[in-house]
Structure 1
Amino acid sequence: MAEAHQAVAFQFTVTPEGFDLRLSREALKHIYLSGIAAWKKRLTRLKNTFLTGVYPATPSSWLVVVMTTVGSLYCQVDLSMGLISHIRQCLPSSRYLSFQNRTLLSATLFSTGVWISGILIFRQTLKLLLSYQGWMFEPHGKMSRGTKVWAAVMKVMTGHKPMLYSFQSALPKLPVPSVQATIHRQYLESVRPLLDDAQFSKMEVLAQDFQNYTAPRLQKYLVLKSWWATNYVSDWWEEYIYLRGRGPLMVNSNYYAMDFLYVTPTSVQAARAGNSVHAILLYRRRLDREEISPVKLLGLVPMCSSQMERMFNTTRIPGKETDILQHLVDSKHVAVYHRGRFYKLWLYYSGRLLGPRDLELQFQRILDDPSVPQPGEEKLAALTAGDRVPWAEARARFFGSGKNKVSLEAIERAAFFVVLDEEEHCFHRDQEDSLDCYAKSLLHGRCYDRWFDKSFTLIVYKNGKLGANAEHAWADAPIIGHLWEFMLATDTFQLGYSEGGHCCGEPNLGLAPPQRLQWDISEECRMAIDGSYGVAQVLADDVDFHCFLFTDFGKGRIKRCRTSPDAFIQIALQLAHFHDKGRFCLTYEASMTRLFREGRTETVRSCTSESTAFVRSMADPAQSRCERLRLFKLAAEKHQLMYRLAMTGAGIDRHLFCLYLVSRYLGVESPFLAQVLSEPWRLSTSQTPQQQIRMFDLEKFSDYVSAGGGFGPVADDGYGVSYMIGGENLITFHISSKFSSPETDSRRFGRHLRQALLDIAGLFDAPPNKVPN
């Protein structure tokens, strides 16, 4: 095998004449190029760290300051007002430094001090500007004079070609809300519509006791942590919500993303894989070089980019008590799964990234490989789909040495995981359940053909359709969404395909084929694999998924109703749930706190007194249209206020979560916190972001809309709902529940949701004197 010989840099044998040394020039060339590439990356990171640290200043701006200062001295003008002379006097005398050289050095030191001072002043000023949140609470289209001035200053201060992490040190810290605001202003208010008078009175007593006697001590520790840590929530959230979870990641934690809804650029599986992987690697290169612009709200306010650091080369490693996230600085290969076999595919040749056509060749070689899986290999990935403790034990026992260790490391140290799926999935207009099957395949597949521990798995179906399954601990869905938008747009609008559906260009036929990973899986290990597979299969079979397109209207018609699209949909979800179950429930809507450094998410409790009043009015035939509209507007305004409070650090659930953790650390029992943390979220919702980066005009290319993504049910007797507002006339919904619950039915909920959207829109369309049913 040619690739085996190239892998050896030198060989030697002992002969009667001495040593016979043979060097492989090709191998040495690759070693040399690999070293050069590694040093280039180190230097690029060093340069980027410096440029990010001095933003918005640049080395050229430092040179301008130095030249201005030195030039002024030659013109007999002392801009330093005597400081340069003082610095010159403080310099140690030396026969190597003349008076002129000492003056020049003093001027350089003074100029550097001025330059650094300017940077620090800019950073503090920007931090103060970013701490202003009044813009978010102003009525839509009505901006105060103060906010207009703030926006103008922000535009000037953030518009100078920022790098990805340029604003990180200027972002404010997430504030710790007051206990009184958390308990009375929001928590008790949020549970009031869910409790009867006796239950609410009992909760009020528990809350008051907690506020008076327990909370002050716990709050002091949180405030102290907020001073010391970059973010008082994120590290605990990652560890206790994600990494310490001992149940399966599949369905319970991981989520998925879908391909274009109506368009498939090519039906050639290897070609779609080649273009997509190359596009993803172009994104990784831009990420490494920090050439990606930070996401900004309104084009002005930068959001935290720290979650993007672990997008690639990251794997969740199982442990008996807690998992860890293994993140590597770089990885030069991807791991590939096809028909029960695992492969290691190198991404570089002669120090250069493989082109799309080269990658297509490599993927085609895997597809054409006639070999069969080794014993135990086919369902090996089921270990990542089952409970975490059995996987941790099996990993330590069966994968600690030999070829199993080498092969497992090849997967865990890969940039990401690729699956060349044997199935075909896409949206068929004439098949009602086509998106349901597509969603279930992406969420759990066959329970053994996804590596659920990788930061994300790229799934390429036999018909050229794409999808992704992402691990949740390292980042939230908008981060993967950013990569996904870049990949889809680059694949279609920049890389493109030939007339035959293949990647553009000519392949390098001299590339060594992908390396087949070797395993030695014992009978005991196979029993562990079968055990995890059994757990995962039961979980997957219980998932009731329904994904549907709502095409009657989209954000265009909603905005004509003069309300927030998100508020409109959230109120519709409350109406749908009431029709589905005949009662209200605690509702979770994910909001983001990335306006703060290392911010992740916060909860918006969408079931409010205002929304329940509106829902009840819709069920009361005696209520007039005008009254229903009034109640709807109150509910929408309340929802927008709750969402804005969550985004600006005034949410309650992360605060309560951290208070609970401090109480556990201190050994303090709190009936109030125990009750709060035990309340189930029977309706868990999330909006998938759209057009975070505008690489093409969605209005012009309306068919190139993604179907968004979704997640599994959070509660055994509840619903998980993800939605994406795909344009002026499209909203995509992903609804999950469990077949085992007699209370839920995803299709039934979908019907109720569709009708709820139409009923609410009908309020705005009905004649003034008509009372809708």
Structure 2
Amino acid sequence: MNPPTFAAEDTLPRVPLPTLDDSCERFLQWCRPLLDADELATTEAAVAELLRPGGAGRTLHAALAEYDATPGVGSWLDEFWPSRYLGRRDRIALNANFVFLFRDDTPLAASTVAGQTERAAAIIGAAVDYKLALDQEKIAPVTQRGQQLSMWQNKYLFSETRIPGEVQDTVRKPYSAEWPGPSDARHIVVFYRGNAFRMDVIGPDGAPYAFEDVVDGLRAVIKGGTKPAATDTAVGHLTTKARAQWARSRATLRAEAANVAAFDEVETALFAVCLEDFAPRDELHACDQLLHGDSANRYFDKSVSFIVFADGQAGINIEHCGLDGTTVLSFVDALLERTAQDHAATSGARAQGLPSVEPIEFVLDSAARADIAAAGADFARFAADTATSLVSFDDFGTAAAKQLGISPDAFAQLAYQLAHRRSKGLTGATYESIATRQFRNGRTEAMRVVTPEMVAFVDAMVDDTVDRATKLAAARTAASAHVGRAKECQAGQAPEQHLWELEWIQRRRGAELGVADERIALFDSPGWTIMRDDYLSTSSAPSQYIRYFGFGSTSPKCIGIAYVLLPDRWNIYLATPKSVADEMYAFADHLRTAVTDLRTLLAEQS
């Protein structure tokens, strides 16, 4: 028998808190390859000031260490994550949410006909099965090399909704003081043509509705939403606004009692299902629609939104504040790896007739309608200003990389760096997300890919005077350095989030600690700003049931690189602002060449 889902949470090792000296030393190592001599000197002076005995840096670190030792605190990062995710003030739609495009040949998909309502009903039934098992802590804890990983993020999968705030957002969720234990909601919210419906998926006695009942309910939604909602009535548009603006819009709407009830229906729903009335033109179109789509037919603040197209293709859009890719992949794999009939059997689903399906309607005056229409139009422009592209390698994956004697992730990052230099003529800051769920309350660590060894490798590859043996040695050395840094991050020995949390502590508690007005030079230094100003933002999502993983760009010059790297294939979704689209397309072309060149080089000594 599997241990309870959350049994290991309190016994997992704690995230180690580095010393301030160690983090500063690593920070200088990490930013050095990106700086010229003057920038490095300025940064070194700023670090020396941060390390000054009795200075603000020491005060802030001491406060962090005290917090880490406080009873009931699981990790020194416990306040960092809300600040980082809930504190961001720009829009989360396209900027923060991430997506997965499912394969069409999964056991779940193959167990039903390919129609939209059938595919959606299968996903709903599988998700409800997972939810009921999670309520009883029957979801087996994920293990990695025999070690259980933190499962707390699973509590954010159902009935979690991000609530906009003026200064910082909050989260409405079960497993909280306001809502103890699992969600007792029995409904989901379904969108079709901008119309929102409340639909029961669990009966009054706790048994899920049978597959055929759910199909009938979805057909009732489609019939009820035949007429597209007027653009200025779809409240989902508002979830695309910058957070403080959305907070004000929501507060205004909630002055009407009927709207409080409508928000409750959406916010407490187990999850959202967005039914589209079209089939994607191709995989790129499908990924783009998952990432943004028609915001009338979305509610981007829901933690989980399944999107199902008219031809039955499907995917998921995730609000990031409480969920990382590894947790969502485990969830999605559990849904897709079994048949609809198997999920129904384990959940106890049974025929109960047509589930309750009711429209969710907001009372809107002319000002609210104008606000909604403007938000929708603004987001449509924002989405249209994003360029995307797919790069796929059907003949290369982790198996081929291992045959070449190289870490698959290192191979990918070497290829990205080489393609970037060839396409733009420079080496730029590059982010990679590293999972740290082996720790209590663990999430991710920020890894910076550009090492001196990586720069030397790219330098060698673009220099025609360098012989192949030297290039090969440089590639092997860069790959080894990359693996070493990744292991440091996995062990919680990375500087960025530690130093960033000191900046947040000054903002939150500066007055109390007597450092509110003290300017900390580090956070304006060239090393801090240049190292974190991404040219490439990368993240991997390995799952055999996923076709593509996607997220938006993180800055005006950044290329977002979301990739699925499996034994037999490597699929990449690229996103960047349209103003630099040509550079992204050039990067994509050079990436194909870089992969070929790197494979050829490594094959000479594999």
Give TM-score scaled by structure 1 length.
0.72
Instruction: Choose from 525, 531, 543 the match for 2:368.
Output: 525
Q: Distance in 1 between matches of 2:451 and 2:40?
A: 15
Q: Based on CA coordinates, which of the two structures has the bigger radius of gyration?
A: 1
Instruction: Choose from 44, 60, 75 the match for 1:218.
Output: 60
Q: Distance in 2 between matches of 1:607 and 1:734?
A: 21
Q: Report deviation, 1:350.
A: 4.5
Q: Which amino acid aligns with 1:450?
A: R
| Cα distance change, pair 275–261 in 1 and its aligned pair in 2 (3 A) | closer
The match for 2:600 is 762
Is the deviation greater in 513-522 or in 613-622? 513-522
Q: Distance in 1 between matches of 2:248 and 2:283?
A: 37
Q: Distance in 2 between matches of 1:520 and 1:766?
A: 69
Q: Report deviation, 1:556.
A: 1.2
The match for 1:285 is 132
Q: Which digits, 9 at most, give the CA deviation of each residue in 1:136-164, with x for residues without a partner?
A: xxxxxxxxxxxxxxxxxxxxxxxx73221
Q: Which has the higher contact order (CA 8 A, sep 6+)?
A: 2
Q: Report deviation, 1:663.
A: 3.3
1:334-349 alignment runs, 5 A limit? 334-349=188-203
Is residue 171–residue 595 contact of structure 1 (8 Å, CA) maintained in 2?
Answer: yes
Q: Report deviation, 1:338.
A: 0.7
Q: Distance in 2 between matches of 1:656 and 1:420?
A: 43
Q: Distance in 1 between matches of 2:340 and 2:358?
A: 29
Q: Distance in 1 between matches of 2:605 and 2:268?
A: 63
The match for 2:535 is 682
Structure 2 counterpart SS, 1:740 = helix
The match for 1:745 is 583
Is residue 588–residue 684 contact of structure 1 (8 Å, CA) maintained in 2?
Answer: yes
Q: Distance in 1 between matches of 2:351 and 2:186?
A: 19
Structure 1 counterpart SS, 2:124 = helix
| Cα distance change, pair 423–493 in 1 and its aligned pair in 2 (3 A) | same
| Cα distance change, pair 314–275 in 1 and its aligned pair in 2 (3 A) | same
The match for 1:304 is 150
Is residue 431–residue 449 contact of structure 2 (8 Å, CA) maintained in 1?
Answer: yes
Is residue 576–residue 749 contact of structure 1 (8 Å, CA) maintained in 2?
Answer: yes
| Cα distance change, pair 674–633 in 1 and its aligned pair in 2 (3 A) | same
Q: Which amino acid aligns with 1:301?
A: Q
Q: Report deviation, 1:585.
A: 0.9
The match for 1:722 is 562
Q: Report deviation, 1:297.
A: 1.1
Q: Report deviation, 1:524.
A: 0.7
Query: 1:673 and 2:527 equivalent?
Result: no
Q: Which amino acid aligns with 2:455?
A: T
Q: Which amino acid aligns with 1:216?
A: R
Q: Report deviation, 1:370.
A: 6.2
Q: Distance in 1 between matches of 2:93 and 2:171?
A: 17
Q: Which digits, 9 at most, give the CA deviation of each residue in 1:517-554, with x for residues without a partner?
A: 23321111011112222321222111111123211311
Structure 1 counterpart SS, 2:250 = helix
Q: Distance in 1 between matches of 2:6 and 2:430?
A: 34
| Cα distance change, pair 374–634 in 1 and its aligned pair in 2 (3 A) | closer
- Structure 1 vs Structure 2: percent identity of aligned residues? 26
Q: Report deviation, 1:425.
A: 2.3
Q: Report deviation, 1:176.
A: 1.1
| Cα distance change, pair 198–564 in 1 and its aligned pair in 2 (3 A) | same
Query: 1:272 and 2:116 equivalent?
Result: no
Is residue 126–residue 340 contact of structure 2 (8 Å, CA) maintained in 1?
Answer: no
Is residue 213–residue 355 contact of structure 2 (8 Å, CA) maintained in 1?
Answer: no
| Cα distance change, pair 226–513 in 1 and its aligned pair in 2 (3 A) | closer
| Cα distance change, pair 491–262 in 1 and its aligned pair in 2 (3 A) | closer
Q: Which amino acid aligns with 2:251?
A: A
Query: 1:468 and 2:322 equivalent?
Result: no
How many residues are aligned here?
578
Q: Which digits, 9 at most, give the CA deviation of each residue in 1:588-623, with x for residues without a partner?
A: 100022121001111111111001101110111122
Q: Distance in 2 between matches of 1:465 and 1:577?
A: 33
Query: 1:451 and 2:290 equivalent?
Result: no
Is the deviation greater in 678-687 or in 467-476? 678-687
Q: Which digits, 9 at most, give the CA deviation of each residue in 1:82-115, with x for residues without a partner?
A: xxxxxxxxxxxxxxxxxxxxxxxxxxxxxxxxxx
The match for 2:406 is 563
Query: 1:322 and 2:160 equivalent?
Result: no
The match for 1:541 is 384
Query: 1:628 and 2:478 equivalent?
Result: no
Is residue 614–residue 631 contact of structure 1 (8 Å, CA) maintained in 2?
Answer: yes
Instruction: Choose from 415, 419, 437 the match for 2:274.
Output: 419
Q: Distance in 2 between matches of 1:424 and 1:671?
A: 52
The match for 1:163 is 4
Q: CA RMSD in A?
A: 2.3
The match for 2:215 is 360
Instruction: Choose from 615, 638, 654 the match for 2:458.
Output: 615
Q: Distance in 1 between matches of 2:186 and 2:486?
A: 42
The match for 2:178 is none
Query: 1:209 and 2:49 equivalent?
Result: yes
| Cα distance change, pair 672–709 in 1 and its aligned pair in 2 (3 A) | same
The match for 2:179 is none
Q: Which amino acid aligns with 1:448?
A: A
Is the deviation greater in 247-256 or in 387-396? 387-396
Q: Distance in 2 between matches of 1:606 and 1:480?
A: 24
Q: Distance in 2 between matches of 1:211 and 1:525?
A: 52
Q: Which digits, 9 at most, give the CA deviation of each residue in 1:337-383, with x for residues without a partner?
A: 11221111011234121121111111112123365356566532100
Q: Which amino acid aligns with 1:471?
A: E
Q: Report deviation, 1:513.
A: 4.5
Is residue 663–residue 670 contact of structure 1 (8 Å, CA) maintained in 2?
Answer: no
Q: Report deviation, 1:423.
A: 1.8
| Cα distance change, pair 641–261 in 1 and its aligned pair in 2 (3 A) | farther
Moved over 4 A (4+): 261-264, 373-378, 505-508
Q: Report deviation, 1:170.
A: 1.1
Q: Which amino acid aligns with 1:223?
A: A
Is residue 193–residue 226 contact of structure 2 (8 Å, CA) maintained in 1?
Answer: no
Q: Report deviation, 1:765.
A: 2.6
Q: Which amino acid aligns with 2:189?
A: A
Structure 2 counterpart SS, 1:319 = coil
Q: Which amino acid aligns with 1:674?
A: D
Q: Distance in 2 between matches of 1:660 and 1:518?
A: 43
Instruction: Choose from 597, 602, 605 the match for 2:440.
Output: 597
Q: Distance in 1 between matches of 2:558 and 2:128?
A: 38
Q: Distance in 2 between matches of 1:194 and 1:453?
A: 36
